Each structure stands twice: as structure tokens, then as C-alpha cells.
């Protein structure tokens, strides 16, 4: 199964050199094991833009975004056997932050990729085929 881990925080902090070294070691291990497909940190909100549809109008707003409560700081994509394995990797990654960047607070959300064959997934075309 393919999983994405998404790291969010209330503020954008530059990771310490020790944390970056530990993250690189973890990433290298997972790449060599064939489990990590891609990973990246993201630039601060000021460098981005938002494309929004509201009241049937499309708008583009350059960052920074004043109303942002949480910032996506980075992501990783894995090919793993189970959700439990994905959560264990997220725990290991967040432990690095706890140990090497005291005071930082954030979340690592683990989400499986969409699978139309997964149990409990709504099939919007099922009625049309019936």
C-alpha cells in the first residue's frame, strides 16, 4: 500500500543541523530498503500561492496567508505493507523532532493513497452501471 505522511506545524522553523542529519539518515535507510518513494520539505508560506474557488469565483492569492493556522512543512511517500508500518515510521520521524528540536510542536498525518477497490470506498459510478 502507498502512504503519504504529511508534517504540519503552527509555525515554520528551520530544522537544526542535528535534526537534518538524522532525517537524512532515516530517509537513506528507507530509500535503500525500497520503502521510501519521495520526500521533501516545503518552503515558507510567503513563497507560495493559493488558488481558491469560492462563490463560483476563482482567485489566486500570493503568500503569506494570514489565516493559516497550520503550515504543511513537508511530506514523504512510502510503499509499505500496512497502516501500522506507516504509523511506526511516523512515530520514529516525530521522535527525532522531539529529541533534536526541543520546543517544536507539530503533527505527522499518515494517509493511505486512494484505492477504488478498498472496502468502504464509495463508487460514484456504481449506480450508472447497475
**Could you read off the pLDDT of 42-75 as tens digits, one per residue?**
988 889 998 999 999 999 989 887 676 788 999 9
pLDDT at 1 over 90: yes
Question: Per-residue pLDDT tens for 71-124?
Answer: 899 999 999 999 999 999 999 999 999 999 988 999 999 999 998 887 766 666
83 backbone dihedrals φ, ψ, rounded to 5°: -65, -40
- Predicted confidence at residue 59, as pLDDT, reads 94
14 backbone dihedrals φ, ψ, rounded to 5°: -70, 125
Alpha carbon distance 18, 96 (integer Å): 9
- Predicted confidence at residue 23, as pLDDT, reads 95
| pTM of the predicted model as reported, rounded to 2 decimal places | 0.82
pLDDT at 35 over 70: yes
- Predicted confidence at residue 84, as pLDDT, reads 97
Domains of the chain, by residue range, sit at 2-114
The architecture in CATH of the region 2-114 reads 2-Layer Sandwich (3.30)
**Positions of E strands within 1-130:** 2-9, 36-41, 49-54, 57-62, 71-79, 106-112
- CB 97, CB 16: distance < 8 Å: no
For range 18-32, the mean pLDDT: 96
Tell me which residue of 69, 66, 54 sits closest to 107, measured CA to CA: 69
**Strands of the sheet with 2-9, listed across from one edge:** 36-41, 71-79, 2-9, 106-112
pLDDT at 38 over 80: yes
- β-partners of residue 79 are 2
For range 16-32, the mean pLDDT: 96
Amino acid at each position: 500500500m502507498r502512504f503519504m505522511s504529511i508534517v504540519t506545524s503552527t509555525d515554520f522553523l528551520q530544522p537544526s543541523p542535528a535534526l537534518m542529519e538524522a532525517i537524512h539518515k532515516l530517509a537513506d535507510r528507507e530509500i535503500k530498503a525500497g520503502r521510501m518513494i519521495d520526500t521533501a520539505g516545503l518552503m515558507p508560506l510567503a513563497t507560495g500561492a493559493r488558488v481558491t474557488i469560492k462563490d463560483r469565483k476563482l482567485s489566486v492569492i500570493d503568500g503569506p496567508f494570514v489565516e493559516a493556522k497550520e503550515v504543511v512543512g513537508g511530506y514523504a511517500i512510502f510503499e509499505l505493507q500496512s497502516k501500522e508500518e506507516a504509523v511506526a515510521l511516523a512515530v520514529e520521524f516525530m521522535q527525532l523532532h522531539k529529541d533534536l528540536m526541543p520546543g517544536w510542536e507539530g503533527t505527522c498525518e499518515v494517509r493511505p493513497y486512494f484505492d477504488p477497490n478498498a472496502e468502504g470506498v464509495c463508487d460514484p459510478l456504481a449506480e450508472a452501471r447497475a
